[in-house]
Chain A
Amino acid sequence: MGQIHTIGIPRGLMAYRSGVLWKAFFEELGLSCVISPKSDRQILEKGTKRAADETCLPFKLYLGHVESLLGECDAIFVPRMGGYRPKEKMCTRYEALPDLVKNIFRNQHPNILTVSYDWYDHTDEAKVYLSLGAALGRSKSESKKAYGAARKKMDQWMKAKEKKQNILLEGDGLKILAAGHPYVLHDPFMGGEISRLLGKMGATVVFTDYVNREKALKRSYHFSKVMPWIINREMTGAVMLLRERVDGIVLLSAYPCGPDSLVNDMLVRKVKEIPMLSLTLDAQSGAAGMETRVESFMDIIRYQKAGGYGNH
């Protein structure tokens, strides 16, 4: 892979969690990045045509993003992420991602840039980025330097988000915690719509992925010792950390997410002291159905706060 100058990053899945790191790393190496446009109906339609019917909504959108990058860059970055530890894995779809994209876009012959790591490889993030640099033909010291700078940038970005969210949590008003995978929460086509609705109804929306990741991860072991997924760990850990500081929780999940199908059920069983709304988003639903449910949820919280249901 000698002559790669521009790298395409599909704006989907883990780009919402680590995208800043990826982009900074490539730019530090002197490459330019093309990021696909924000999700919309067209991108979903493109992706739906490619994907098997039963696959989850975020994956369909991801395929749409990949398609919109075809011909726009020299290589598309599709990492294979297995997670770093046995109890902090990723959903198996991330293990399959590069091979999936290659098989689905076989006739378009896209150039896929990938890096692979798995929990049984006993590796860490720094090593993974070294091998990614090597795949781009960069020396060890160049990659190391680029990774260091990128990591710093990522940490700054994360800290800024945490800080901003803390100010929101200190403020007055009705606070609703949106809980879910980062790419569901922040994709304008999925969680973005729900946040907009909540905001319109006067709530301050805070997110589970804008909480310190290490703290949330640690806290999640109080919730479950055996839960194998890191994203669900960060999500449940953040719920545990914030549940006393918010007035309600909206669990957002995309249909049919494997990990969420079990973990969200467990959350509803275990976290009882706070109003919780569980929303499952799929490709068909318009915002109208959601609007009714969010509205009634907000009404219940307001009514309860005003002393309804014999609380006071």
Chain B
Amino acid sequence: MEIIKIDDRKKLAFPRFHHYNLAIRYIVEQGLEQNYLLLPEATKETTELGSKYSPDYACAPFKHTLGSLIEAVNAGADIVIETGGLCRLDYYGALQREILRELGYRCEFVNLAEYMGGKKKEMIWLAKRLNPKVNIPKLLAAVYDGVKMAEYLDDIEALYYRNAGFEAQEGSYRKAYRQFLLEMQVAENHGEIRDGYQKAKQIMENLELRRSQYPVRIGVVGEYFTAMDAHSNQYLQEKLIRLGASVERYLNVTNCHFRAKESALRPRIRDYVQFNMGPTTTWTIHAALDYAKRGFDGIVHVKSFGCTPELDAVPVLQNISRDYHIPVLYLSYDTQNSDTGLDTRLEAFYDMLERKKKVLR
């Protein structure tokens, strides 16, 4: 077997995207056999860096990802990767490549929008571009494990936000969650991923909870990046559980890409919608309707400022809100948000939900 010298490996980087960088790291290191540059938690500087070089009214995810990419190149990435998508996201890569080039960075830039056809040949070509000596069966096995890891990450996260607000011992849930993330960060094979998941799930399920009889339940819906990425939405879900709520978010990578299909979800919302309205709009409306029918107390709709597909979900959400008498808080993020402002709005929203619940009971 050929032994690859550590120095031969190239450093790959991908913009920060919630906890999924851990799964991407796994695929890059175990499948492509290159180094992955795992960026630390984003800071205010990341955002500032991104917005400084972005067009004025580009959406917030553009600015966040550009900030991440610049930091990655500064940290020594050889190849940076940007994804494509079904909205403006499809043009992110082209413009970010140009911006990085004008700033004088000379890294390789891989724009996945160019490979979005999804043909097998193109995918193999892409893998060979990232590592000419790539072992395809090994890559496929790693992709499978990486997908599994993403599912586990989503599962544990969902458990955390459902229950952590009621933990008997403060910080016990957080501790188990952090330990799990750490294990995913260093996992090197299928077994380690599975063991880490099972351990975390076991610990979390055995932790003592002091749940009130009727806890306030809030559903989070919204735009793909901002709703998922905790830094972009200013740790919205964490703030909500600290107020004492149980929080659910249907929108995650597992439910978007590995499980629910758009055409399978749409029949469930046909009272409101006839056609596919945009990349994640069906998920947003489906989840909101589901929360309403399951008797949730409130819905928070999260998006970046000017996000076209999610803006188009708003009139439908307003109708759902009227029909099912469920309050919806609309949050629109750009890159200059004050933390206190958000706190005040969330507190007021939570208090209103709690009071409504008491009166109705």
Partner-B contacts on A (CB < 8 A): 52, 54-56, 80, 86, 91-93, 95-96, 98-100, 102-104, 106, 116, 118, 224-228, 255-256, 258-259, 261-266, 269-270, 280
4 extra A-B contacts, CB within 8 A, seeds A91-B308, A226-B111: A96-B278, A99-B316, A258-B307, A270-B98
Docked Cα-Cα span, A116 to B276, in Å, equals 10
Interface contact B275-A262, CB-CB below 8 Å: no
On whether A99 and B58 interact (CB within 8 A), knowing A54-B311, A54-B332, the answer reads: no
On whether A96 and B309 interact (CB within 8 A), knowing A226-B93, A228-B90, A266-B95, the answer reads: yes
Can you give 25 A-B contacts (C-beta < 8 A)?
A: A56-B308, A86-B117, A92-B279, A92-B309, A93-B308, A95-B276, A96-B281, A98-B274, A98-B275, A99-B272, A99-B275, A99-B316, A103-B273, A224-B91, A226-B111, A226-B114, A228-B91, A256-B57, A258-B59, A258-B307, A259-B88, A259-B91, A261-B59, A263-B91, A266-B94
**Nearest 3 CB-CB pairings of A with B:** A265-B55, A96-B277, A92-B278
Interface centre among B56, B91, B307, B316 (most CB of A within 10 A): B91
Q: State the Cβ distance, A276 to closest chain B Cβ, in Å.
A: 14
Q: State the Cβ distance, A182 to closest chain B Cβ, in Å.
A: 18
Interface contact B315-A52, CB-CB below 8 Å: yes
Instruction: Write the chain B residue with the least CB distance to A82.
Output: B276
Interface contact A262-B274, CB-CB below 8 Å: no
Chain B residues with Cβ under 8 A from A266's Cβ? 94-95, 98
Q: State the Cβ distance, A244 to closest chain B Cβ, in Å.
A: 22
Docked Cα-Cα span, A95 to B98, in Å, equals 29
Interface contact A261-B279, CB-CB below 8 Å: no
Docked Cα-Cα span, A100 to B274, in Å, equals 10
Instruction: Write the chain A residue with the least CB distance to B309.
Output: A92
Docked Cα-Cα span, A258 to B306, in Å, equals 7
Give the total number of A-B pairs whose CB atoms are below 8 A apart: 112
Docked Cα-Cα span, A128 to B314, in Å, equals 29
A-contact 0/1 string along B71-96, CB 8 Å cutoff: 00000000000001011101111110
Docked Cα-Cα span, A256 to B308, in Å, equals 9
Chain A residues with Cβ under 8 A from B102's Cβ? 269
Query: Is B20's CB within 8 Å of the partner chain A?
Result: no
Interface contact B316-A103, CB-CB below 8 Å: yes
Query: Is B319's CB within 8 Å of the partner chain A?
Result: yes
Chain B residues with Cβ under 8 A from A106's Cβ? 319
Chain B residues with Cβ under 8 A from A280's Cβ? 57
Docked Cα-Cα span, A103 to B319, in Å, equals 7
Q: State the Cβ distance, B66 to closest chain A Cβ, in Å.
A: 11
Chain B residues with Cβ under 8 A from A103's Cβ? 272-273, 315-316, 318-319
Docked Cα-Cα span, A226 to B92, in Å, equals 10
Instruction: Write the chain A residue with the least CB distance to B323.
Output: A106
Query: Is B305's CB within 8 Å of the partner chain A?
Result: yes
Docked Cα-Cα span, A52 to B308, in Å, equals 11
Interface centre among B117, B276, B281, B332 (most CB of A within 10 A): B276
Docked Cα-Cα span, A181 to B306, in Å, equals 18
Q: Report the interface size for chain B: residues with CB under 8 A from the other chain.
A: 45
Chain A residues with Cβ under 8 A from B84's Cβ? 226
Query: Is B192's CB within 8 Å of the partner chain A?
Result: no
Instruction: Write the chain A residue with the least CB distance to B56.
Output: A261
Query: Is B350's CB within 8 Å of the partner chain A?
Result: no
Docked Cα-Cα span, A265 to B316, in Å, equals 32
Query: Is B159's CB within 8 Å of the partner chain A?
Result: no
Q: State the Cβ distance, A266 to closest chain B Cβ, in Å.
A: 5
Interface contact A227-B94, CB-CB below 8 Å: yes
Instruction: Write the chain B residue with the least CB distance to A51.
Output: B315
Instruction: Write the chain B residue with the least CB distance to A87.
Output: B90
Interface contact B91-A226, CB-CB below 8 Å: yes
A-contact 0/1 string along B297-323, CB 8 Å cutoff: 000000001111101101110110000
Interface contact A262-B311, CB-CB below 8 Å: no
Instruction: Write the chain B residue with the least CB distance to A255.
Output: B57
Query: Is B62's CB within 8 Å of the partner chain A?
Result: yes
Query: Is B140's CB within 8 Å of the partner chain A?
Result: no
Instruction: Write the chain A residue with the least CB distance to B272.
Output: A103
Q: State the Cβ distance, A272 to closest chain B Cβ, in Å.
A: 12
Chain B residues with Cβ under 8 A from A92's Cβ? 86-87, 277-279, 281, 308-309, 312
Instruction: Write the chain A residue with the least CB distance to B319.
Output: A103
Docked Cα-Cα span, A167 to B340, in Å, equals 60
Interface contact A99-B273, CB-CB below 8 Å: yes
Docked Cα-Cα span, A51 to B94, in Å, equals 31
Query: Is B113's CB within 8 Å of the partner chain A?
Result: yes
Chain B residues with Cβ under 8 A from A93's Cβ? 278, 308, 312
Chain B residues with Cβ under 8 A from A224's Cβ? 91, 94
Interface contact A262-B88, CB-CB below 8 Å: yes
Query: Is B123's CB within 8 Å of the partner chain A?
Result: no
Interface contact B95-A258, CB-CB below 8 Å: no
Chain A residues with Cβ under 8 A from B312's Cβ? 92-93, 96, 99-100
Query: Is B260's CB within 8 Å of the partner chain A?
Result: no
Chain B residues with Cβ under 8 A from A56's Cβ? 308
Chain B residues with Cβ under 8 A from A86's Cβ? 116-117
Chain B residues with Cβ under 8 A from A228's Cβ? 90-91, 113
Q: State the Cβ distance, A87 to closest chain B Cβ, in Å.
A: 9
Interface contact A258-B278, CB-CB below 8 Å: no
Chain A residues with Cβ under 8 A from B95's Cβ? 262, 265-266
Interface contact B91-A99, CB-CB below 8 Å: no
Instruction: Write the chain A residue with the least CB distance to B54.
Output: A265
For chain B, residues 97 to 116, give those with C-beta under 8 angstroms from any C-beta of chain A: 98, 102, 111, 113-114, 116
Interface centre among B93, B111, B273 (most CB of A within 10 A): B273
Name the one of B94, B113, B278 contacting A95, with C-beta atoms under 8 angstroms.
B278
On whether A226 and B319 interact (CB within 8 A), knowing A98-B275, A269-B98, the answer reads: no
Docked Cα-Cα span, A91 to B316, in Å, equals 19
For chain B, residues 114 to 159, give those with C-beta under 8 angstroms from any C-beta of chain A: 114, 116-117
On whether A54 and B305 interact (CB within 8 A), knowing A228-B91, A266-B98, the answer reads: yes
